[in-house]
Structure formats: structure tokens, C-alpha cells
Amino acid sequence: ALLAFMLLYARSYGASALGQYALAMSVAGVLSIATSLGLNTVLQRELSRAPARSREISGATLLPQFAAALLGAGLIVAASLLWFEPGATRQAIWIMGAYHLLARLAQAVAARFAGHEQMATWSALEAAHKVGILLIALLGFRGAWDSTHVLMAYPAMGAALLAGGWLVSSCRYGAPILGLG
């Protein structure tokens, strides 16, 4: 789905827009790395050890990851303001930054499924997320949206992945209990 997206995006908007997309993905991807703080690996390990404590264990990581996501958003905005002129490139960085932050936060939800050894559901959610990006983009290509508006498919589906994963995991394992320990 993402290969089809890139091919259609390049064909619809040209090499310059594809370059902006690639640059935005790279900048946003690098600056969003700290969002998980390595907690997803710890979360998965601890959930595997004590699946009955899923709500408490997953709740303990929420505040640090949310704070790190806010810091990541600040870094993305600051970098775009410092290094890029106003225009489509800066907008693409903000859009892809939002996507990367949402996708990294969604990995905390994926860790819950992995900790319970039930990755089939998460895999289906991720597949739907990728196909959703392509379907929204197809609407944009057909509707003559500009290149940055088509990129909005990414954070829209990133939010859907996070929300859908949260809903399914909360139904299966219980909503996380906010806490520090």
C-alpha cells in the first residue's frame, strides 16, 4: 500500500513533492525516536511476565511517553522553524511529524498485544492503517488536492491506529490505570 502511495504521489505531484515527502519523513522520523523512551520494550517484557497486571503496567508508561511525545513535537516544530523556509516543506514536516508521533505512541498499544502474545489483531490494525492511508490519498489524487493535503492521510490514519488499538486493547485487557509504579 505504501509503495503504491509513493508511486502515485510521485506521478501526481512530481519529483519536487516526492523529495519534500522523503525529507519530511526523514526529519520527523529521526526527531520522533525518543517518543517511546525505550519503554515499549520494557512494557512488552513486563506484560509477558505478569499479564494479569496489564492495566497497571501499561498505565505506568503513559505519562512518560506522553511527555516525550510533547517534547518530540516541540523538536519537530523547532527544527522546521530553524532550518526550513515557510512553505510546503515545513508543512510536510509538521504533518509527517504528527504522524510519526502518533505511530510511535501506537507502538505502546502494540506492546500490550505482544505482551499477551496476540499480535494477529495488531497486525490487522496496522494493515488497515496502511490501506487507509492509500485510500484517503486516492481520494486526494482524484479530488485534485495539493500535495500537503494528501499527506494528511498519514496523521489521520495514525490517529485511527492509536485510537483503534487503544479501544481493542482496553476491551481485551482493561483500560490502563494511570500511575507511576
pLDDT tens track for 69-78? 999 999 999 9
pLDDT at 124: 96
What would the pLDDT profile of 1-31 be if each residue is shown by its tens digit? Answer: 989 999 999 999 999 999 999 999 999 989 8
d(CA 94, CA 112): 28
What percent of the chain shows pLDDT beyond 90?
Answer: 69
pLDDT at 85: 93
pLDDT at 63: 87
- Write b or e for each residue in 158-168: b if 16 or more Cβ atoms lie within 10 A of its Cβ, otherwise e: bbbbbebbbeb
pLDDT at 149: 95
